[in-house]
Structure 1
Amino acid sequence: MKATRVILDEHENDVDKLEEAESWLFADAPARAQGGKTGLPNAGTSSDEGKTMRRCRTLAGLDDSDEK
């Protein structure tokens, strides 16, 4: 709030002047990207729950052959 008041004071408490001088303050926030920088899921991830579980078991050093 303090910073906002200082900036507004610098523009004579006129919101229109502030918007004209500092338009970035009034811009819509960009949409948050999903996934990595490309917008795609991160490499090595799986959307299949079974594949994900097998991968986790492999990384943990567990053998899938003992499953019933």
Structure 2
Amino acid sequence: MIHCVCRQINTAKVDQAASCGAKTANCVMKFCGTRFNCGQCRTSIDDRLQAVIPTLGEDKLLAAE
């Protein structure tokens, strides 16, 4: 899914940024080396981060059990 049309930021890029520690849409933009243009994507990126951040590291937790 494309989250930011202006900067061509898709779900894969948001997920990659999250796996590197991004917790906000601003952090995703910095990770991608850009900044907001119109800002319409901010909510979509934040929603994706809220969905993906809790799942990060689950495979490590399962392996430890």
Higher relative contact order (CA 8 A, sep 6+): 2
Q: Flag the structure with higher helix content.
A: 2
TM-score between both structures, scaled by the size of structure 1: 0.25
Tell which structure's C-alpha radius of gyration is larger.
1
